[in-house]
Structure 1
Amino acid sequence: MGVTADERWVFGYGSLMWRPGFPYEERRAATLHGRRRAFCIYSVHHRGTYQRPGLVLGLAPGGATRGMAYRVAEADWDETYAYLREREQPTETYVETARFVRLADGRRPQALVFVSDTAHPQWAGDLSLERQAELIAGAVGLSGRNVDYLRDLVAHLRHDGVRDQAMERLLAMVEARELAGG
């Protein structure tokens, strides 16, 4: 079973992995090469505010990212794309691009991917784990507490067989800060 050129795919590496929010015909584990999952974007909408920014995931340059790819029916594409633009681009911190991903079964479809815009003012870049923990602990936005986003990420990565030691260390640091009240 191959991939045809007219198939529509979306690659998710954060909450899209467990809460896509759109109809799809197929969901497959996938790897994107050339970008890595990182808390590299200041969140002033979903997980923080302008007064107290949090951090959300982005795809920073380098490495590889294991995530999920979704095949969307052509009939659902326009609505799915509009939904993704609203969800993923409230402050235009990502660049939409088409990238080839490797599915677990070996297929290599081209997928819509939202990569971090390193020129955007909300680009946080490569922060130390300590600085990430400081920003995530206590931050709250329209979609809830920042730590809950990180906790969901770690739990869902584990569920999908991905052990991301940096994310697990970060979660432990954030939980320790929140327990200590800061």
Structure 2
Amino acid sequence: MAMWVFGYGSLIWKAGFNYDDRLVGFIKDYRRVFYQGSTDHRGTPEYPGRTVTLEPAQGEVCWGAAYKISKKEDKETALTYLEVREKQYDKKVYLDFFTDPTATTPAVSGVMVYIGSADKKLNENYLGPATVEEIAKQIVHAEGPSGPNREYLFRLEKALLQIGCKDKHVMDLANEARRILSEGELTTS
């Protein structure tokens, strides 16, 4: 039986594992938010970056990409890889995945999704909500082993636009980060 993995952040543009098929679509009743701290990829323990997680949101949808992995060895390799890559996310859930906004039945059931929960006892890296300005400022200044946090934000914005998704939260943060960067360049020149 095939394993399906849903990506709503960097997995959209960089799977990092072998897969048989990739579908663009969405999950229901969740929204993407930059509330998860990253101390291992896009920030450091001293200055965490911010990456996306999901929070329950009745009636909303979160667009991304689902990957189908069929071969036994590819599944094992993907799981091992994802357990390291997503280690700061404390929950793994299995959800319905849709490709058609008018569909009442999912394209795939039981798609695996990693989530960083809001429970600080289980997820020490949860940063939670802040203003667009505060989140963008943190993203602009954070950098980790995987590169600058702003690169993650801008690549996510681009990847979402490429699949036809205009995510207001992501676009507002990207626009604010660009504003901060342009002002910083003006004051240093």
With the length of structure 1 as denominator, give the TM-score of the two structures. 0.89
Deviations 1:44-97 (A, max 9, x none): 1111112112101111221320111111013211111111111111xx333112
Q: Root-mean-square deviation (CA), in Å? A: 1.7
Which structure 1 segments of 5+ residues have no match?
Answer: 1-5
How far apart, in 2, do the equivalents of 1:58 and 1:156 lie? 16
Given that residues 23 and 65 in structure 2 are in contact (C-alpha distance below 8 angstroms), is that contact kept between their aligned partners in structure 1?
yes
SS of 1:66's equivalent in the other structure is: strand
Query: Which residue pairs with 2:109 in the alignment?
Result: 109
Query: Which residue pairs with 1:3 in the alignment?
Result: none
Deviations 1:16-45 (A, max 9, x none): 011101111111112111221110111111
Q: After the TM superposition, which residues 58-137 of structure 1 pair with which residues of structure 2 at under 5 Å, given as runs?
A: 58-62=53-57, 63-75=60-72, 76-89=74-87, 92-104=88-100, 107-119=107-119, 120-137=123-140
Given that residues 41 and 123 in structure 1 are in contact (C-alpha distance below 8 angstroms), is that contact kept between their aligned partners in structure 2?
yes
How far apart, in 1, do the equivalents of 2:53 and 2:46 lie? 21
The number of aligned residues is: 175
With the length of structure 2 as denominator, give the TM-score of the two structures. 0.86
SS of 1:153's equivalent in the other structure is: helix
SS of 1:134's equivalent in the other structure is: helix
Q: Among 159, 163, 181, which residue is 1:160 paired with?
A: 163
Deviation of 1:161 after TM superposition, in Å, equals 0.8
- The one-letter code of the counterpart of 1:48 is G
Deviations 1:95-127 (A, max 9, x none): 112112113485232111001221122112222
